[in-house]
Structure formats: structure tokens, C-alpha cells
Amino acid sequence: MTQGVSVRILTSKAVHEQIEKLIDEDIIIRKDETRGKFQIRIVDMLHQQQRQRLQSKVSILIVDSKLCLVEDLEIYNKNENSNGTISLATYSNSESTVLTYISIFETLWAQTELATQRL
Amino acid sequence: MNETGSFPSYSPLPPETTEVLYGNENIQRKVLESFSWVKEELDGCIESDVLSMTVIYDAIWNGFVELKKKGVKLRSITEVTPDNISYVKKSMDLFETRHTTGLRSNFGIVDKRECLLHSVSHEDQPLSHAIITNAKALVEAQYFLFETLWKNAIPAEEKIREIEEGMKPQFTETFRDHLQIQKVVLDLVNSAKQEIRMLILPSSRSTNGFLSEEREQVITQSFKKR
């Protein structure tokens, strides 16, 4: 049963394909990409320069524009003895912090839309 | 007091000394003695139900007032509760105060040179036992403990607002435990009422180089929420 939450995901093409398999539905990456309220955009469409600026070792999750969790994936593999159990994440409800990550997300979201329109 | 009847202008304890004090009067006298020679800073941790004592006892309170006038930096950490909020507000007239939940410690550090730890019983003698020391290593260890608590504590004003106005305080936490992170991520996704935004890039964490099992769980949960 759906709950009416809008879900937007920015990710790579490879991850997108995996998500489609996972949820067993096609999510069309075009202007009409919306499938219900579940939208995915592909960062691979961005210019190379833009992609290089993107910190690829960080995952961002923002919920209801009120809470954010940013996970650094880099640290995970650095510790060979951790058996994959060490990570680093910051979790905040600070308005300024959440707004900063929203701004990053929305900028990338808009850029991928422009890139999609160029196709 | 010294032989001339006045308080010394420096710690009267011989170097590297640790003493045990008993009884209200002895402990209060030692505290007031310390007030006389403190020059730069007084840092203290006070349990929530002990804080009232520092405000109610005129001798102690007036001592703090004098220190403030001398320009001594006063910092305190306590647990702000609905019961002690009036005392906290009063102490904030003199002290920079921070809140930490569940604080269980009573001590004061003077100029990073002398430390007094005391226990409190709620019988006829509230200040029953204390340890005073100027042993460098012990004072440094206690000061390190104070600074660690200070860094992790939140401004008392925030906690007061939370209690009085029901405002949720702002927080930023760091997690290093992978399982804890995963739990927070799933709880966050499940708590969403309006919108979820995610930036997920290929992680070297997963065996297939893309989505880890944990991420798969997050995606499927998000998909159910749409």
C-alpha cells in the first residue's frame, strides 16, 4: 500500500538499473520519468566536469526537509581489520545543515533535468 | 584562612597534594578559600539536584559574584530539568552554562591547578565528603573530562527553550557504528511523511560494486512509501 510520500533519487546509471530490478518496475528516465511519486535521475548525464566535482564517496538522505544523514563511504574500506563494520555518518536536524544539503541535491536535480532535455 | 586571618592569594595546598575533607563546614571553607586565589577560570560540573545549593548558600553565591566582578571565566555543566530550571536561570547570570542529560558528577576545577570533587548526601550535612587535589596529573585528567563533557553538552538556553516552549533542540550527531547508521537510515525512511531525497552513488562497499544489501533495503522501503 502506498503512503503518498514523494521519493526522488539521484544516482548512477548502474545503480538505477539495479533499482529497477529490485522493485521490478521500469522507471523511464525522460521528462515524464515519474512513476507514481518515485523518481530517479541519473548523474551520469552531467558534464564530465560536473561529475568530477561530485563527491562520489558520500551518500545523502534528506527526509521531509527536516532531517538529513550524510554517510561517508570512503572510510569503510580503509580499515582492513574492521570486517566491514566501520563507517562514518553525520545526522542532523539543524536547519542550516539540512538546507545546505537540500540546496546541493536540488542543484544536481535541476542539472540532470537540463542534461536530460539536451538528449 | 592563613595565619593572618585572610585568605591566601595562591593555592595553600603544598604541591602534588591530595586531601580528603569531611563535613559541610570544612568543604565550604575550602571552596571559599579557592575563590580567594582563582585568577582566570572556574569550571564546574553539578548534578541537577545539587545546583540549588550553589544558588541558595549566600557565602558560595556571593563568592561567585565576586569572581565574576574580578573577571574570572565561570563555566558550569549541569542537567537542566523542570525542577531546577529557576536555579539554572539564576546561575546563568554568572556562569556560561551547558546541559548534559543524566550528568552524575560534582566537581570544580580552579585555574586548571586545583580540583575539588564532592559527594552529596541529602541528610543534615549535604556536603559530606570531598577530595581536593592539586596533583598535576589528576587535575589534568579531570580538566580533560570537563572539556569533553563541555564539548558534548548543549547550551542551557536550548534545553530551557525545549522544556518551556516544547521546542525540539537542534542536533548534529556523528555515528561510526555501521549497524547504528543502517538503523537510523531505515528509521528515517520509515518516518517520512512528505518527501525523501536521496543521492546514492556506486559504493565500493557492496560485493557487486553498486548497491549494498542495506541500500537495497532502503530503496524498497522508500518505494513502498511513495
Which has the closest alpha carbon to A72: A91, A44, A53, A45?
A91
Give residue B207's pLDDT: 39
Q: Do A2 and B226 touch (CB under 8 A)?
A: yes
Q: B207 CB near a chain A CB, below 8 Å?
A: no
Q: Which amino acid makes up residue B226?
A: R
* pLDDT tens digits along B35-72: 988 999 999 999 998 899 889 889 999 999 999 999 99
* Interface check B194 vs A, CB under 8 A: yes
The pLDDT assigned to B216 comes to 73
Average pLDDT over every residue of A36-52: 74
Full strand arrangement of the beta sheet holding A6-11: A38-42, A6-11, B195-200, A58-63, A67-72, A86-92, B172-177
Contact A23 B219 (CB under 8 A): yes
Rounded to a whole number of angstroms, the distance between the first and last alpha carbons of chain B is: 73
Q: How far apart are CA B89 and CA B73, in angstroms?
A: 17
Q: Which residues contact B124 (CB under 8 A, 6 or more apart)?
A: none
Hey, which of A22-31, A71-80, B108-117 has the most confident mean pLDDT?
B108-117
Question: Which segment, A11-20, B119-128, B137-146, B173-182, is predicted with the most confidence on average?
Answer: B137-146
Give residue B9's pLDDT.
55
pLDDT at B204 over 50: no
Question: Measured between beta carbons, which residues in chain B are less than 8 angstroms from residue A59?
Answer: 198-201, 203
Identify the bridge partners of residue A69 per DSSP, sorted by sequence position: A61, A91
**Calpha distance A43→B201 (Å, rounded):** 9
pTM, full prediction: 0.67
Distance from CA of B184 to the nearest CA of A (A): 8
Has residue B208 got a pLDDT over 50?
no
- Say how many CA atoms lie within 13 Å of B189 toward its Cβ: 25
- Cβ distance B198 to A61 less than 8 Å, yes or no, reads yes
In whole angstroms, give the CA distance from residue B126 to residue B209.
63
| Phi, psi dihedral angles at B92 (to 5 degrees) | -70, -10
Residue A66: is its pLDDT beyond 50?
A: yes
Mean pLDDT of B187-192: 91
B217 neighbourhood in chain A, CB within 8 Å: none
Q: How does pLDDT run across B124-149, given as a tens digit for each residue?
A: 556 678 999 999 999 999 999 999 99
Neighbours of B108 (CB within 10 A): 23
Cα three-residue angle A54-A56-A60, rounded to 5 degrees: 90
CB contact under 8 A, A18 and B220: no
Place of cell 546561575: B91
**pLDDT for the residue numbered A31:** 43
Q: Does domain A7-118 have CATH number 3.40.1340?
A: no
Label the pairing between strands B41-46 and A58-63: unpaired
Nearest to A94 among B170, B209, B225 (CB): B170
For a pLDDT cut of 90, what percent of chain B falls above it? 55
Helix boundaries (H) for chain B: 24-37, 51-56, 58-70, 85-91, 136-152, 156-165, 178-191, 213-225
The interface pTM score, or ipTM, of the predicted complex is: 0.83
Answer whether A87 sits within 8 Å of B178, measured CB to CB: yes
| Class of residue B85 by CB neighbours under 10 A (exposed 0-12, middle 13-18, buried 19+) | middle
Domains delineated in chain B: 18-165 (3.30.870.10), 178-225 (no CATH)
What does the block give as the cell for B112? 586548571
Report the distance separating Cα B182 and Cα B95, nearest Å: 40
Burial group, residue B58, by CB count within 10 angstroms (0-12, 13-18, 19+): exposed
